[in-house]
Amino acid sequence: MEMFFSYKTYLTCAALIALGAGCSLSSEGLTSVGDYEDDTVDPNDEPNREITESDTPSPVRIGIAETQKVDAREADAQTGEPQKADAQSQPLTDANRPDVKPLPSSLMIRATADTYARASGLDETFMFVNNDNSNFGDQTVMQIKHRPGPDEGHFWREAFIAFSVPSVAKVKRAKVVLTVATRYGPMDTATLEIRALDNLWTESNLVWANRPSAGTLLGNVKVLPGQKVEVQVDVTAYVAARLDAGTRSIAFGLVQNATTAYQNNSHIEVDAREAGATGPQLVLEF
């Protein structure tokens, strides 16, 4: 909305601004003059005279709001280009900085090493096999078995998996994801235990004779007969503690609970990293 003022009003406001006093023009005329005010009357003043372009090269343009600021979105009078907004009105944040990418909410890490160890004993054909120094690091499936009884040591198999974790933000949740099944025991329901593993080992050199001892129980899952399924075990506290201690290599031992049902040749199978997409995973959430 355009408004015009008397010649004296305009000159008075301009003089006050030049003297350093405040001046504000509105629909009510000269409403504020700060610390200076002129009460003199000019006998030559023309009260009803409107300001024209000949009086001033830059007529005052007043809108509805009581301010002479031009919106930053208006086109610049000289260039015709939109004026840039004040930098203070748009502070840089991670959301609008072009050089900052948002962090992912989760990270999936595949196993960097996995294998299993098997004790010496009878194989599936009931032939004795010495496995104390046998390595199974190149197999696509890891076997886990714990048979109670007088000859239990002849049937044990334990698996081991390791992950290399990059530098990450504070972990809110961590879980191990495995693809599991049971073999040779259609009536079995086995319990697979996930345990902490602090010992150092290598995939190509681990055998029954030098296998690391599985530590604290972190969680367990039921493995139903005849089904190959994906299972998840929460390991948040263990992983967070390891990362807080500066340890980026995180390992787990996989063993069978000895009190669960079994048959003579039954065991648990877990897909190894050599199996591809169904291999062990460590999923971190932030």
pLDDT score of 100 more than 90: no
Identify the band that residue 82 occupies on the pLDDT scale cut at 50, 70 and 90: low
What pLDDT is stored for residue 154 in this prediction? Answer: 63
What pLDDT is stored for residue 57 in this prediction? Answer: 47
The whole domain housing 259 covers: 106-285
Task: Decide: 114 and 206 in contact? Cβ < 8 Å.
Answer: no
Q: What is the mean pLDDT of the chain?
A: 75
Q: Do 78 and 127 fall into the same domain?
A: no
Q: Do 204 and 274 fall into the same domain?
A: yes
Q: Do 185 and 278 fall into the same domain?
A: yes
Q: Do 142 and 81 fall into the same domain?
A: no
What pLDDT is stored for residue 119 in this prediction? Answer: 86
What pLDDT is stored for residue 11 in this prediction? Answer: 66
Q: Do 252 and 112 fall into the same domain?
A: yes
What pLDDT is stored for residue 65 in this prediction? Answer: 40
d(CA 266, CA 237): 32
**Tokens for 149?**
């009884």
pLDDT score of 260 more than 90: no
**Tokens for 132?**
């104390």
Identify the band that residue 267 occupies on the pLDDT scale cut at 50, 70 and 90: confident
**134 inside domain:** yes
Residues in the chain: 286
Least confident span in 9-13, 54-58, 98-102, 180-184:
54-58
**95 inside domain:** no
**Among 272, 281, 283, 276, which Cα is nearest to 181's?**
272
For residue range 19-55, what is the model confidence (pLDDT) as tens digits? 666 666 665 665 555 544 444 545 555 555 555 555 5
Q: Do 164 and 254 fall into the same domain?
A: yes
Least confident span in 72-76, 95-99, 103-107, 271-275:
72-76
Q: Do 120 and 217 fall into the same domain?
A: yes
Q: What is the CATH number of the domain that holds 117?
A: 2.60.120.260
Q: Say how many C-beta atoms besides its own lie within 10 A of residue 179's C-beta.
A: 19
What pLDDT is stored for residue 284 in this prediction? Answer: 96
**188 inside domain:** yes
pLDDT score of 80 more than 60: no
Between CA 189 and CA 193, with CA 191 as vertex, the angle to 5 degrees is 165
For residue range 190-220, what is the model confidence (pLDDT) as tens digits? 889 999 997 789 999 999 999 998 899 999 9
Domain count, the chain: 2
The percentage of the chain sitting over the pLDDT mark of 70, rounded to a whole number, equals: 55
Task: Decide: 51 and 5 in contact? Cβ < 8 Å.
Answer: yes
- Residue 67 neighbours by CB under 8 Å, 6+ apart: none
